[in-house]
Amino acid sequence: DLIVDQTIEKVSFCAPDRNFDRAFSYICRDGTTRRWICHCFMAVKDTGERLSHAVGCAFAACLERKQKREKECGVTATFDASRTTFTREGSFRVTTATEQAEREEILRQMPDAK
């Protein structure tokens, strides 16, 4: 069963608990409210150390995939500190070969128009 279903943006901490062998936690920034939240879990069958390692590896893999996707798709995000908002430019939608060719043709013609 799903325990937590939310968008998280930055994970700053993921570790087992020092006092409880089966507990682990992580601190992350909520993608919707932009607040930092600490999530704590108590393992049923495994140790908190093993689970925190697995969750930490999953977070690292997700971050790597996100950064690769952003680089390939040309997606950028800017943060406006005065309004505390992010603005995303670009799209994660995969373009077809035809769309890519049309886009390249338009870009080739742009210097001619100047």
Q: Is the pLDDT of residue 112 over 70?
A: no
Band of pLDDT at residue 87, cut at 50, 70 and 90: confident
Task: Give the three-state DSSP class for 67.
Answer: helix
Query: Is 6-71 CATH 2.40.160.10?
Result: no
Amino acid residing at 29: R
pLDDT at 67: 81
| β-pair partners for 8 | 30
Range(s) for CATH 2.30.29.30 in the chain? 6-71
- The structure tokens listed for 45 are 């069958």
- Cα dihedral: 99, 105, 108, 88 (round 10): -20
pLDDT at 92: 60
9: number of Cβ within 10 Å: 13
Band of pLDDT at residue 60, cut at 50, 70 and 90: confident
The pTM of this model reads 0.56
